[in-house]
C-alpha cells in the first residue's frame, strides 16, 4: 500500500519539481540577477550605480519623456478603446464582428511596423500622398517625428487593448441594472453616464494600467519616431547607450531598466489602490441588455467607426504596401515604377535579412512550441493544483511579461555575459540568448488561455481516468493534453505572431549573425532604406494575417476570449 502511495505521490512531485525548475530559470533568476546588479555589483552592497544614474541629466530627461508619452498614450488609448467598446457592445450597430476584427488588428502588428506604416503614409516621400500629388516637398519634416506623434501611435497601438478589457467587462453587466435605471426614467445617455461607466471603472482602470505599462515599455514607436527627433525615452536611451558603449555600460543600463520597471509597477499599484476603493463586484449572472437603438444615427455612427478603421488600419497598411513597391526613396508609384525588387532583395539577396527571416521563424516556432508544452503542466498546477503556493507561481510567470521587455533583455544580458558556470557554455553574442528571453517573456501568453481552458473543463473527466487506474503522466498525455490542447495551441500561435516581428528584446540582444526580422527592419529604416523595411513589414504582416485565419479554424474548440480578434 505505502509503495503505491509513494508511486502516485512521486509523479506529482516530479511534475511540481519540473515546473518549479522552469519557473526559477525563466522568471526568478533574471529578476534576481538584475536586482543584484543594482544593489551589489561585484558582490558588495553599494549605491554607486544608483547614484551615477541619478546624477545624469539624460536619465531625468528620458524619465520625463517616458512619463509624458506613457500618460498621453494611455489617455488616448483609454478614451478611444472605451468609446469603441461602448458603441460596439451597447448599441445595435451592424457588422460587429468585422468591426472587432479590424479594430483589434493593430494589436497583432508589431509597434515598429505601425510606426513605419504611419511614417510612410504621411512623410514627404509618401507614395500614397503622391498618388494625389498631395505629398509635402522633399525635406519637409514629418509631423510624426514628435511627442504628439509618439502619443498618437501609442494610442492607436494600445486602444484595442483597452477595448478588449472594457468589452469583457460590459459583457458581464447584468441587464437588470440598466433596465432598473430606465424604468426609473433615465434615458440611454444618462444610464451610460450614471450607471454603466461608473460600474465599468474597475475594468477601465485595469485596462489603463495595462496600457500604461505597454506604453512605457514600448520600444518600436519611440525608436522610429523619437530617435530621429532626438527625443529619447528610457527604452531608447538604454538602446543608445548599449549600442554605443557595449557591456561596459551594462551597470548603468541596469539602473535605467529598473527605473522603467518601477514606473510600470507604480502604474499597476496606483490602479490596484484605486480599484480597492471601488470594488463593485457584480455577482449576478444575467443576459446582456438589449442593444440601444441608434435609429437614424446608426448610419452616422457606423460610418464613423469604419472611418476610424480606415484611418488606423487600412490606410497605414496600404501606405506600407505602396512603399514596398517603389524602387527608391521619394519616387512616385506608377504602373511603370512599381517593382517587386524590394521583396527580392530582402528575401534572396541581403544576407542579414535572409538570416533574420530564418532566425525569427525558428525562434518563434521554438518559443511557441516550448510554451505550449510547458503551459499544460503549469496550467494544471495553477488551475487544479491543491497547494496554495502555486498562486505565487502564476504571479512569477506573469512578471517577465508584465514588466517592459527592456527589463528582461538587460537581465538576460547580465545573466549570460559570462559563460554559464561549470559548463563554460557562452550564450552572450549568440542567438540562444534571444531564445532564452523569448521563452521567459512569452510563456504567459500561452499560459493564460490554457488556464481558462482548464476552468472550462469538468474536472470529473480527469477523475474518471484516475478511477480507471491512469497515473498522473498517463492522464496528462491521454486526457488532459487533448482537452486543453486547443487553448494552449491558440496561445502558441499568438506567441508565434508576437515573436515573429518582435523588436524590443532582440534590439538589445542581437549580434552579428543573430539578427531578427525586427532588428534588420529597424536598421534598414535607420539607414534610410524604408522600402526594404516596408517590404519586410509587409511579409510579416501577411504571415500574421494568414496565421490568424488558420487560428480561426480552432475557434469552435476554444474558450471565449482566447482569440482577441474573435467577437
Partner 1 sequence: MARLTLDHVTKSFTDFDAVKDVSIDVADGQFLAVLGPSGCGKTTLLRLVAGFEKVTSGEIRIGGEVVSGKGGSVAPEKRRVGIVFQNYALWPHMSVAENIGYSLKVAKLDKAVARQKVEDALALVNLQGLGERRPANLSGGQRQRVALARCLVAAPSLVLFDEPLANLDVHLRASMEDEFAAFHKRTGTTIVYITHDQAEAMALADRIAVMDHGRLAQLATPRELYHEPANEMVASFISQGILLPADVMTSEDGGRCKVRVLGTELVVRCRPGERPRAGARICCRSADIELSADASGFDGLVKRAIYQGGAARIEFTPAAGPDLTLRFEQPDPVVLENGAQVRLRIRSGWLIPAAGAAA
Residues that bind partner 1 (CB under 8 A): 174-177, 179-187, 190, 194-195, 198-199, 201, 278, 280-282, 284, 286, 290
In DSSP terms, which residues pair with 292 in a beta bridge? 91
CB nearer to partner 1: pick between 5 and 287? 287
CB nearer to partner 1: pick between 192 and 413? 192
- Min. distance of Cβ 97 from partner 1 in angstroms? 18
Contacts for 339 with CB less than 8 Å, ≥ 6 apart: 325, 326, 327
Q: Which of 266, 326, 275 is nearest to 126 (CA)?
A: 326
- Residue pair 154/222 in contact (Cβ under 8 Å)? The answer is no
Angle at which helix 390-402 crosses helix 431-456, to 10 degrees, equals 130
- Min. distance of Cβ 178 from partner 1 in angstroms? 9
* Residue that is written with C-alpha cell 512619463 in the block: 67
CB nearer to partner 1: pick between 46 and 187? 187
CB nearer to partner 1: pick between 110 and 199? 199
Distance CA 301, CA 294 (A): 8
CB nearer to partner 1: pick between 1 and 183? 183
Expressed in angstroms, the distance from the first to the final Cα of the chain is 52
Largest CA distance in the chain: 86
Angle at which helix 29-39 crosses helix 250-277, to 10 degrees, equals 110
- Min. distance of Cβ 387 from partner 1 in angstroms? 31
CB nearer to partner 1: pick between 96 and 350? 96
User: Backbone phi, then psi, for 286, in 5-degree steps?
Assistant: -160, 170
- Min. distance of Cβ 173 from partner 1 in angstroms? 11
- Min. distance of Cβ 189 from partner 1 in angstroms? 11
Three-class secondary structure of residue 478 per DSSP: helix
- Min. distance of Cβ 87 from partner 1 in angstroms? 20
CB nearer to partner 1: pick between 180 and 307? 180
- Min. distance of Cβ 485 from partner 1 in angstroms? 33
- Residue pair 501/517 in contact (Cβ under 8 Å)? The answer is yes
CB nearer to partner 1: pick between 73 and 202? 202
- Min. distance of Cβ 191 from partner 1 in angstroms? 8
- Min. distance of Cβ 297 from partner 1 in angstroms? 15
- Min. distance of Cβ 184 from partner 1 in angstroms? 3
Distance CA 561, CA 385 (A): 23
Q: Which three cell numbers stand for residue 366?
A: 521554438
Contacts for 98 with CB less than 8 Å, ≥ 6 apart: none
Q: Which of 430, 437, 542 is nearest to 495 (CA)?
A: 437
CB nearer to partner 1: pick between 64 and 280? 280
Q: Which three cell numbers stand for residue 193?
A: 453616464
CB nearer to partner 1: pick between 55 and 276? 276
Q: Distances in Å between the alpha carbon of 160 and those of 79, 116, 172, 306? A: 11, 19, 19, 15
- Residue pair 398/444 in contact (Cβ under 8 Å)? The answer is yes
Amino acid at each position: 500500500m505505502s509503495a503505491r502511495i509513494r508511486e502516485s505521490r512521486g509523479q506529482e512531485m516530479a511534475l511540481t519539481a519540473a515546473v518549479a525548475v522552469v519557473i526559477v530559470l525563466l522568471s526568478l533568476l533574471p529578476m534576481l540577477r538584475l536586482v543584484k546588479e543594482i544593489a551589489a555589483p561585484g558582490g558588495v552592497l553599494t549605491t554607486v550605480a544608483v547614484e551615477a544614474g541619478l546624477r545624469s541629466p539624460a536619465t531625468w530627461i528620458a524619465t520625463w519623456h517616458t512619463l509624458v508619452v506613457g500618460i498621453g498614450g494611455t489617455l488616448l488609448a483609454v478614451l478611444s478603446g472605451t468609446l469603441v467598446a461602448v458603441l460596439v457592445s451597447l448599441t445595435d450597430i451592424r457588422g460587429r464582428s468585422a468591426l472587432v476584427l479590424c479594430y483589434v488588428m493593430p494589436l497583432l502588428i508589431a509597434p515598429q511596423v505601425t510606426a513605419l506604416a504611419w511614417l510612410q503614409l504621411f512623410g514627404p516621400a509618401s507614395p500614397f500622398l503622391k498618388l494625389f500629388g498631395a505629398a509635402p516637398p522633399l525635406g519637409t519634416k514629418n509631423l510624426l517625428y514628435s511627442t504628439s506623434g509618439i502619443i498618437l501611435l501609442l494610442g492607436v497601438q494600445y486602444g484595442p487593448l483597452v477595448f478588449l478589457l472594457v468589452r469583457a467587462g460590459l459583457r458581464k453587466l447584468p441587464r437588470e441594472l440598466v433596465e432598473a435605471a430606465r424604468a426609473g426614467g433615465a434615458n440611454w445617455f444618462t444610464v451610460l453616464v450614471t450607471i454603466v461607466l461608473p460600474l465599468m471603472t474597475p475594468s477601465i482602470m485595469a485596462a489603463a494600467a495595462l496600457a500604461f505599462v505597454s506604453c512605457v515599455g514600448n520600444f518600436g514607436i519611440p525608436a522610429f519616431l523619437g530617435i530621429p527627433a532626438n527625443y529619447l525615452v528610457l527604452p531608447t536611451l538604454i538602446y543608445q547607450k548599449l549600442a554605443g558603449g557595449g557591456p561596459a555600460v551594462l551597470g548603468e543600463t541596469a539602473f535605467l531598466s529598473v527605473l522603467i520597471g518601477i514606473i510600470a509597477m507604480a502604474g499597476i499599484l496606483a490602479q490596484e489602490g484605486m480599484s480597492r476603493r471601488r470594488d463593485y463586484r457584480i455577482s449576478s449572472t444575467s443576459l446582456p441588455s438589449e442593444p440601444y437603438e441608434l435609429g437614424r444615427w446608426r448610419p452616422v455612427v457606423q460610418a464613423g467607426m469604419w472611418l476610424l478603421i480606415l484611418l488606423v488600419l487600412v490606410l497605414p497598411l496600404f501606405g506600407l504596401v505602396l512603399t514596398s513597391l517603389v524602387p527608391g526613396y521619394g519616387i512616385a508609384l506608377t504602373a511603370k515604377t512599381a517593382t517587386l525588387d524590394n521583396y527580392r532583395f530582402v528575401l534572396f539577396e541581403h544576407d542579414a535579412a535572409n538570416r533574420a527571416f530564418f532566425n525569427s521563424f525558428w525562434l518563434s516556432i521554438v518559443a511557441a512550441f516550448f510554451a505550449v508544452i510547458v503551459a499544460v503542466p503549469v496550467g494544471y498546477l495553477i488551475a487544479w493544483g491543491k497547494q496554495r503556493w502555486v498562486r505565487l507561481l502564476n504571479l512569477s510567470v506573469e512578471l517577465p511579461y508584465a514588466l517592459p521587455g527592456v527589463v528582461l533583455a538587460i537581465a538576460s544580458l547580465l545573466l549570460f555575459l559570462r559563460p554559464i558556470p561549470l559548463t563554460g557554455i557562452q550564450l552572450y553574442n549568440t542567438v540562444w540568448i534571444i531564445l532564452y528571453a523569448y521563452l521567459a517573456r512569452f510563456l504567459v501568453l500561452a499560459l493564460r488561455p490554457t488556464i481558462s481552458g482548464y476552468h472550462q473543463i469538468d474536472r470529473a473527466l480527469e477523475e474518471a481516468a484516475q478511477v480507471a487506474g491512469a497515473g498522473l503522466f498517463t492522464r496528462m498525455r491521454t486526457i488532459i493534453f487533448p482537452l486543453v490542447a486547443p487553448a494552449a495551441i491558440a496561445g502558441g500561435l499568438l506567441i508565434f505572431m508576437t515573436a515573429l516581428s518582435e523588436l524590443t528584446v532582440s534590439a538589445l540582444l542581437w549580434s552579428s549573425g543573430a539578427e531578427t526580422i525586427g532588428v534588420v527592419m529597424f536598421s534598414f529604416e535607420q539607414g534610410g532604406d524604408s522600402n526594404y523595411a516596408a517590404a519586410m513589414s509587409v511579409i510579416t504582416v501577411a504571415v500574421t494575417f494568414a496565421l490568424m485565419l488558420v487560428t480561426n479554424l480552432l475557434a469552435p474548440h476554444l474558450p471565449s476570449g482566447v482569440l482577441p480578434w474573435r467577437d
